[in-house]
Amino acid sequence: GAVVSQHPSRVICKSGTSVKIECRSLDFQATTMFWYRQFPKQSLMLMATSNEGSKATYEQGVEKDKFLINHASLTLSTLTVTSAHPEDSSFYICSASSGVHTEAFFGQGTRLTVV
């Protein structure tokens, strides 16, 4: 299957700082990328959907000013957690798809710890 690379895999940051997470599709053009958050022992919760060249669509309850998503090219989307707080500590996963009714491929996830 296609490869989606997410970086970094782990990051620890101080409260109040910002953290950027990258999601790259290595061997296909991802017209749509999805960002999920996974709490311990819970399922993946969709945070936002981004289409290349347009603004991301956020799910209800997700603060768009806190979780900035940029999808500037067909192979790269970034999630920036701004002014991070300890409650933002979580596992963030991206996935990428090349179109409707096609499989979405997942990155390996990023473990964010805010201290």
- What is the rounded CA–CA span in Å between residue 37 and residue 93? 6
> Which residue among 46, 62, 68, 74 contacts other proteins (CB under 8 A)?
46
Task: For residue 115, state whether it binds other proteins (rule: CB under 8 A).
Answer: no
Assess contact for 18 and 33: CB atoms under 8 A. Answer: no
Of 17-25, 68-76, 82-90, 92-100, the window that binds other proteins (rule: CB under 8 A) is 92-100
Task: For residue 75, state whether it binds other proteins (rule: CB under 8 A).
Answer: no
Task: For residue 54, state whether it binds other proteins (rule: CB under 8 A).
Answer: no
Nearer to other proteins, 49 or 82 (CB): 49
* DSSP letter for each residue of 25-92: ESSS--SEEEEEEE-TTS-EEEEEEEETTS--EEPTT--TTTEEEEEEETTEEEEEE-S--GGG-EEE
> Which residue among 10, 17, 64, 103 contacts other proteins (CB under 8 A)?
103
Which residues are paired to 16 by β-bridges? none
Task: For residue 67, state whether it binds other proteins (rule: CB under 8 A).
Answer: no
Tokens matching residue 69: 């998503």
Nearer to other proteins, 82 or 91 (CB): 91
Residues 6 or more apart whose Cβ sits within 8 Å of residue 104: 34, 95, 96, 97
> Which residue among 7, 11, 22, 49 contacts other proteins (CB under 8 A)?
49
Task: For residue 108, state whether it binds other proteins (rule: CB under 8 A).
Answer: yes
